[in-house]
Chains A and B, each alone.
Chain A
Amino acid sequence: SQTIHQWPATLVQPVGSPLSLECTVEGTSNPNLYWYRQAAGRGLQLLFYSVGIGQISSEVPQNLSASRPQDRQFILSSKKLLLSDSGFYLCAWSPPGRSSGNTIYFGEGSWLTVV
């Protein structure tokens, strides 16, 4: 069966410091990978998605970047964090392909607090 791991679960970082959130998926090949951010009382905002190694699409301009160095590894990064980067970040995966019926499976999430 497929599993998704995301870490760290909680992170407190000072303004201006770098960020690295990591996500790995097991039990599948060539998954679509995603990073979302969740604001309180709202749904998820898609930040980045990737259909393959080195292929990253950004949905919103922001202080963050993403990379996919391996097939099942997805990293969310920032060189200098802003206070507004605080939030709950979720990594997710779906089977390859673009069918709208493909289920998106979420990791446990990472709480980022920028102080």
Chain B
Amino acid sequence: AQSVTQLDSHVSVSEGTPVLLRCNYSSSYSPSLFWYVQHPNKGLQLLLKYTSAATLVKGINGFEAEFKKSETSFHLTKPSAHMSDAAEYFCVVSVGGSTLGRLYFGRGTQLTVWP
């Protein structure tokens, strides 16, 4: 069975400080892992993805994530938060052999950035 756990529903940081959004997954197969960002009333934008190549994945807007199989984690980080980073972030798992388009979502982490 597949599942995704985002460990924090809300994260608040000051502008210019590091961001850490935590994600753990459970999968019976080798998964592909994604982080998406969603601004209010908007669609989901892909930040980055892991598909069994390099375990450290760099994405857009300075975000990166590290796949750690031993810890079944895929935490999202950014060295310095910007006000425009305030949004909801979803950790997502896709598994081969599943129904096409079937994605397993975490419940989301709302990131607040204080000036």
Asked whether, in the complex, the Cβ of A94 is within 8 Å of the Cβ of B49, the reply is no
Known: A100-B31, A101-B32, A103-B49. A43 touches B43 (CB 8 A): no
Which residues from chain A contact B97 at a C-beta distance below 8 Å? Answer: 100
Nearest-CB distance from A70 to chain B (Å)? 19
Asked whether, in the complex, the Cβ of A101 is within 8 Å of the Cβ of B43, the reply is no
Number of interface residues of B (CB under 8 A): 30
Interface residues of B in 96-115 (CB under 8 A from A): 96-108
CA distance A100 to B103 in the complex (A): 9
Nearest-CB distance from B64 to chain A (Å)? 17
CA distance A42 to B107 in the complex (A): 5
CA distance A44 to B44 in the complex (A): 10
Residue positions of B touching A, CB distance < 8 A: 31-32, 34, 36, 41-46, 49, 51-52, 90, 92, 94-108
Residue positions of A touching B, CB distance < 8 A: 6, 32, 34, 41-44, 46, 49, 51, 57, 59, 88, 90, 92, 94, 98-109, 111
The 6 tightest CB contacts between A and B, nearest first, are A43-B105, A101-B51, A106-B43, A100-B96, A49-B101, A100-B94
